[in-house]
Structure 1
Amino acid sequence: MQKRWNIRKYNDELRRKIYELSNILNIKPLTAALLINRGIDEEEKARTFLFPKIDDLHDPFLLKDADKATARILKAISRREKVLIWGDYDVDGTTGTVLLRKALKYLGLDVDFHIPHRIHDGYGIRRDRLEQIKKDGYTLVISTDTGSTALEAGQWANENGLDLIVTDHHKLDKDQERPFFALVNPNQHDCPYPNKHLAGVGVAFKIAQAVLSRANYAQKSKVISELLELTALGTIADIMELAGENRTIVALGLQNLSDTRQVGLRALMEIAGCLDEIDSYRVGFQIAPRINAAGRLADASEVIELFETESYEKALNLARGLDTKNRERQKLQETAVNEAIRMVEKEKQNNKVLVVASPDWHRGIVGLVAARLVERFYRPSVAISISEGVAYGSARSPDWFDISEGLAACADVLTKWGGHSKAAGFTLPEKDICSLESIINAYALRRFAEELFVPTIEIEAAVKFSTIDFQLYVELRKMEPFGLGNPRPLFVTRSVHLADKPYVLKDKHLKLVLRDADGYKHWAIWWNGVEKLEEKGIDVCKLESSAIDVAYRLDTRDFGSQIKIQLLIEDIRIS
């Protein structure tokens, strides 16, 4: 599929501001331009952005019900009550679970936890489980990342003397009374908390921050630094916006992760091959998939065990187990994605929202299938696993489509649903899949212009290869963490030629040496470049003989004797 390139242009007034900021901060004009593109147009804003600090975090008591939740938790600590953390099986939920257990353990209270099994238990808080928890003598349950819609379970807990504190970040489908002891969710309509983009673990972190503060814990700063590592992990993995407070959380957490003392995290980083260098990309694509593999295919409780063990040998064994599960997940995903692509190409190419379903797909990988369809076809996508008449779906969407609102339009046929703007999950009867497809496509046709369905890449600057050097790379690293709200900068260099024959890696990736019009050369890698060339109808011979425009991001590669800049190709077109 051909992509539309939006290349940012800079007028004279903007250029003046760029050079002014460049001189004030003693940085390259290109780096100054990138900051201004993100609204960082003054020295004070730039220093806050580039050098985040713990004092930049918001007061946790701005969260509605945070004061009430904190008082109840401190009461449980003082009375030595039986407390249980109810988490979720993804990275956001498991890191939130570990974080709350660690914080309360520092305050002298050992608490138990429950992570539902994706297949056997499903998502969210269940009344029957709460009934057993009450029988087992627990008096307080604290949830993290389990949604805010367990109204029946909450009502039962409220009526039977089991206090339920719900900490969550998902959008609320209706403005109605929630029968929980406390609901801490920044997306409540009357919550004044300024950051509406906290991850589930981010909300758990704010509660831990509040409890440690009210308890006057002597080593609060040390504990907060440790908890930020887990918060950064879950925030990146859940693809939350990395601006404002979230940027501070992730930046500080990544700084600590590079020298973490948490043996489980260190072991996982070793197995994932990122002990020497850790950033948002490596967390998102090397660490997070291994953690998620447990909850996708088996029992996520082993993630809790990994993060809480004090034995490095045991941690390495657990991390190797996650690595094995991740490889199994990759095989299942590849098969399902190929089937889903064939379904779309056969009969759904003209649909605005892609809906695919199969009884052969593992329920734990349908979200990944939907994400790959978005990447391939640039359409909101829904992938469904069918079992015994029930359809278990996961939905993903491009930036411009709020998938949770799309599902809200289908509420009449859904049994249960929840999520946020880019990712959501649901269940419905198998017989209603066609109705879901019809309703959500009609919704998209009514609401969105045709041009939005054309894939677009936003290019921040057209540059010459001579501009690309280590000083620029180092300055860009200071702009980390990259992600939603702070994208990794994308550049274009025009009229580039191949300086050598392309090298094919693993039959699908392309390794290239590129030379621009001034004779400057850079190594480049194009992941899945073979397939992407075929989609464009360009063969390798034409690539070798043509001048091309290359859109790319910057990375480095160790060539043994030295480290060199490497271009990560996003797209190409014939000049």
Structure 2
Amino acid sequence: MKNWKILGKSTNSIDNIIEVLLSNREINDKESFFHPKDPTLLTPKDVGIHAIELKQAFQRIQKAIEKKESIVVYTDYDADGITAGAVLWEALFELGARVMPYVPHRVDEGYGLSEKGIDRVQKEFDPTLIITVDHGITAVSQVAYAKKHGIDVVVTDHHVKQQRDPNCPLIHTTDLAGVGISWFLANMLIVKNKEKARDLLALVAIGTIADMVPLVGANRSLVVYGMKELKATKRLGIVALLKDAGVIQDALTTSDVSHILAPRINAMGRLEHALDALRLLCTKNADRATSLAQVLHITNSERQQLTIDTTLQAVKLYKDSKNIPNILVVSDASYNQGVIGLVAGKLVETYYRPAIVIAVGEIISKASVRSIRGFDVISFLRKHSSLLVDVGGHPMAAGFTIETKNIKKFTKVVEEVAQRDIKESLLIRSIAIDLEIPLTAIRSSLYERMTDFAPFGLGNPEPVFATKKVTVESIRLIGAKQNHLKLKLSSFDAVGFGLGEWYGKIKQGMTVDVAYTIDKNTWNGNTSLQLKLRDIRIP
């Protein structure tokens, strides 16, 4: 049972509905929201970047370009990091810099800047400058190690700072995704080539959506303009990826990016080596693009099956438990590091508890963490950093390294603290509903006004409505596994994906309360509005 939180007062006036939606999202400046600023005009203040630090980083990079120093763009291996790396590498290459990208291997080197990675980079490229993208803000000792070996470092990162920063120029903000920061820097560097800057926005849209940052303010600008570029891009790798996935390019949505494109890019870093994902985004060879798109597709399919298998094993650990702890901690030597984040997400989805999944190694183990609304997991973990090798991330998602010998003690400590500190009210699933409306208020004119709020995401969720005491005219199960629900409610079709459990509880002629979003459905050439159910209640 979900707790319904209805945020606004009931109305059937379209203008009033729109005003409630704006109020719920705390949107005071309608003009800048519905007409976001051109990203090329964004200032450091707009994106939360410290101007003096930005200047220091910019000057060091300019010097490296002018003196033809060897530069390495050191990326992360997820979709945000890969797109960020592609953006900055292409911008520097456009300026004639001696630059190469470097993508660390998840298992061999681990997340972020590492001494092993620095050694490999020095042996292969002998750089005098490393620029990190989507990581580095916690790499105090690693930056010192690089300097000791004659390599300067510029850090660009959006993760939460620790008490101590690396001793190097920083471009940091938590307002953007890693790719957003990378593009902001790139846009400064190639200021005379606006066409290239706009082309790179296609990659920015992918990385920003994939990293699930709030789609408000500067991020909204980047995604609105980036989606326009993405729908029209001639980039061979993206075109091949869309074709392989069966997605129509000019009809591309943010949902397609988050559920189809991003997982394929992420899959390479999870199971293989993310360098092929970077190659796909940057290639200028059509045959190479096609073959790489196929590699990403196959790898993603393998990732999907591995996630299913691991999730089933992890979920079973609590299936028969009468007292599920306030935080879930599971660890096993069979867990693949590449999918533990996804498995943690599935545990949260199943039990609605913060979840920690640890891939156990012989001496060192890696963990991924996902949280629930209202529980800052990175702050929680840093309180127990004495038991960890390192930790980093965001309030809703984090990762850490731990000595295997400390897992048992760590598990005991965090379970005890969570049992004491996490309030029961946080562990009740809730659904935020914008307002209650009658079904008669649902018209094409309302739907068209709602589309102005897109793109949807964190900070700007898709509008959710509630209607009470609606009569069920028909009900049936749909889908290959018969786990989805199809209802007829008055003159509207309603689809409840994953709500098949309600079949048998609801009968024709009953009245129900429904929470839903409004969608446009086209079938056999006919287009109509339908309800996509989020939840059902029997009054």
TM range (shorter): over 0.9
3-state SS in 2 of match to 1:65: helix
1:143 and 2:132 matched: yes
Q: Which residue identity is paired with 2:529? A: I
- Displacement after TM superposition at 1:248 (Å): 1.3
Provide the C-alpha distance between the structure 2 equivalents of 1:107 and 1:206, rounded to a whole number of angstroms: 16
2:161 to 162, 172, 175: 172
Question: What is the aligned partner in structure 1 of residue 22 from structure 2?
Answer: 35
Whether contact under 8 Å (2:137, 2:165) holds in the other structure is no
Contact 2:86 2:282 in 1 (8 A): yes
Q: Indicate which of 24, 30, 51 corresponds to 1:46.
A: 30
Q: Which residue of 1 aligns with 2:62?
A: 74
Deviations 1:137-157 (A, max 9, x none): 311111111232222221122
Query: By how many angstroms is 1:268 displaced?
Result: 1.7
Deviates more, 1:410-419 or 1:460-469: 460-469
Q: Corresponding residue for 1:59?
A: 44
Q: Is the 8 A contact 2:326 2:422 kept in 1?
A: no
Does 1:121 pair with 2:109?
yes
CA 1:524–1:110: 2 relative to 1, 3 Å: farther
Q: Which position in structure 2 is the counterpart of 1:477?
A: 451
Please give the alpha-carbon distance, in whole angstroms, between the structure 1 residues aligned to 2:89 and 2:104. 17
Please give the alpha-carbon distance, in whole angstroms, between the structure 1 residues aligned to 2:355 and 2:509: 37
Greater shift, 289-298 or 464-473, is seen at 464-473
Q: Conserved in 1, the CA contact under 8 Å of 2:102 and 2:121?
A: no
Q: Which residue matches 1:551?
A: 515
Give 1:87's aligned residue. 75
Name the CA shift for 1:543/1:266 in 2 (closer, same or farther; >3 Å): farther
Contact 1:167 / 1:184 at 8 angstroms: preserved in 2? yes
> 2:35 corresponds to which letter in structure 1?
F
Equivalent residue number for residue 202 of structure 2: 229
Q: Following the alignment from structure 2 to structure 1, what is the Cα–Cα distance between the partners of residues 250 and 504?
A: 36
Shift of the 9–278 alpha-carbon distance from structure 1 to 2, 3 Å rule, reads same
Question: 1:190 maps to what in 2?
Answer: none
Change (3 A) 1:101 1:348: farther
1:479-528 Cα shifts (integer Å, max 9, x gaps): 1121111111111122233333413212143241322xxxx322222222
1:409 aligns with 2:383: yes
- For the 8 Å contact 1:496–1:514, the answer to whether it is kept is no
- Alignment of structure 1 residues 397-546 onto 2, 5 Å: 397-515=371-489, 520-530=490-500, 533=501, 538-540=502-504, 542-544=506-508, 546=510
Task: Classify the secondary structure of the residue corresponding to 1:161.
Answer: coil
Alpha-carbon distance in structure 1 between the residues aligned to 2:322 and 2:171: 41
1:248 to 221, 225, 230: 221
Q: Tell me how far apart the structure 2 counterparts of residues 348 and 211 of structure 1 sit (CA, whole Å).
A: 58
Q: Distance in 2 between matches of 1:126 and 1:142?
A: 13
Q: Is the 8 A contact 1:513 1:521 kept in 2?
A: no
Aligned CA distance change for structure 1 residues 388 and 544 (closer, same or farther; 3 Å): farther
User: Which of 84, 87, 90 is the matching residue for 1:99?
Assistant: 87
| d(CA) in 2 for partners of 1:177, 1:419 | 15
Q: Report the CA distance between 1:123 and its aligned residue.
A: 0.9
1:206-263 CA distance string (max 9 Å, x none)? 21122223xxx2x2x2122122221221111111111111111111111221111222
Q: 2:65, 2:285 → 1: CA distance?
A: 28
TM-score (norm 1): 0.88
Aligned counterparts of 2:375 and 2:26: Cα–Cα separation in 1: 23
SS at match of 2:375: coil
* Contact 1:92/1:235 (8 A) holds in 2: yes
Deviations along 1:296-339, one digit per CA (max 9) or x if unpaired, are 11010111111111233432322222111111111111111122
Q: Quick one: which of 172, 180, 195 aligns to 1:185?
A: 172
In 1, are the aligned partners of 2:379 and 2:395 still within 8 Å (CA)?
yes
Q: CA deviation at 1:106?
A: 1.9
**Structure 1 position 284, deviation (Å):** 1.1
Q: How many Å separate the matches in 1 of 2:235 and 2:184?
A: 20
Q: Which residue of 2 aligns with 1:261?
A: 234
Residue 122 of structure 2, aligned match among 129, 134, 138: 134
Percent of paired sites with the same residue: 32
The CA distance in 2 between the partners of 1:304 and 1:197, in whole Å, is 24
Q: Give secondary structure in 2 for the equivalent of 1:118.
A: coil
Whether 1:7 and 2:6 are equivalent positions in the alignment is yes
Is the CA contact 1:279–1:480 (under 8 Å) kept in the aligned structure 2? no
CA distance in 2, matches of 1:411, 1:57: 37
Asked whether the 8 Å contact 2:373–2:426 carries over to 1, the reply is no
Give the corresponding residue for 2:184. 206
Partner deviation per Cα, 1:323-375 (whole Å, 9 max, x = no partner):
11111111111111122111122347431111112222211111001111112
Q: Measure the CA separation in 1 of the matches of 2:507 and 2:343.
A: 31
Measure, in 1, the Cα distance between the counterparts of 2:518 and 2:333. 41
Note the alpha carbon deviations across 1:109-143, whole angstroms, 9 max, x for none: 25211111111221111223323433443111111
What are the Cα deviations for residues 375-409 of structure 1, in whole angstroms up to 9, with x where unaligned?
22221111111132432110001121111011112
**Judging changes above 3 Å, is the alpha-carbon distance between structure 1 residues 474 and 150 closer, same or farther for their aligned structure 2 residues?**
same
Gaps (5+ residues) in structure 1?
Answer: 20-26, 187-195
Question: Using a 3 Å threshold, how does the CA distance of structure 1 residues 565 and 539 change in structure 2: closer, same or farther?
Answer: closer
Structure 2 equivalent of residue 568 of structure 1: 532
Q: CA RMSD in A?
A: 2.2
The separation in 2 between residues aligned to 1:560 and 1:343, in whole angstroms, is: 46
Equivalent of 1:197 in 175, 193, 197 = 175
Any conservation in 2 of the 1:231–1:253 contact (CA below 8 Å)? yes
Contact 1:167 1:183 in 2 (8 A): yes
Taking the aligned partners of 2:215 and 2:83, their CA distance within structure 1 comes to: 18
Write the distance in 2 (CA, Å) between the matches of 1:348 and 1:357. 20
Q: Is the 8 A contact 1:147 1:418 kept in 2?
A: no
Distance 1:155 1:62, change over 3 A: closer
Q: C-alpha displacement at 1:63, in angstroms?
A: 4.2
Shift of 1:173: 2.2
Matches of 1:117 and 1:474, distance apart in 2: 45
Kept after mapping to 2: 8 A contact 1:363/1:392: yes
TM-score, structure 2 normalization: 0.93
Cα pair 2:212 2:457 within 8 Å, conserved: yes
Deviates more, 1:344-353 or 1:406-415: 344-353
User: What is the deviation of 1:276?
Assistant: 3.9
Unaligned stretches of 5+ residues in structure 2: none
Checking the alignment, whether the CA contact within 8 Å between 2:475 and 2:488 is kept in structure 1 is no
Q: Give yes or no for contact 1:290–1:323 (8 Å, CA) kept in 2.
A: yes
1:310 is paired with a residue whose SS is coil
- 1:64–1:184 CA contact under 8 A, matched in 2: no
SS of residue matched to 1:542: coil
- Whether the aligned pair in 1 keeps the contact of 2:65 and 2:98 (CA below 8 Å) is no
Deviation at 1:289, TM superposition (A): 0.8
CA distance in 2, matches of 1:115, 1:155: 20
- Residue 305 of structure 1 aligns with which residue? 279
Aligned pairs, how many? 533
Distance in 2 between the 1:300 and 1:463 partners?
47
The correspondence for 1:359, drawn from 333, 347, 351, is: 333
Aligned AA (1:428): I
Among 131, 134, 141, the residue aligned to 1:152: 141
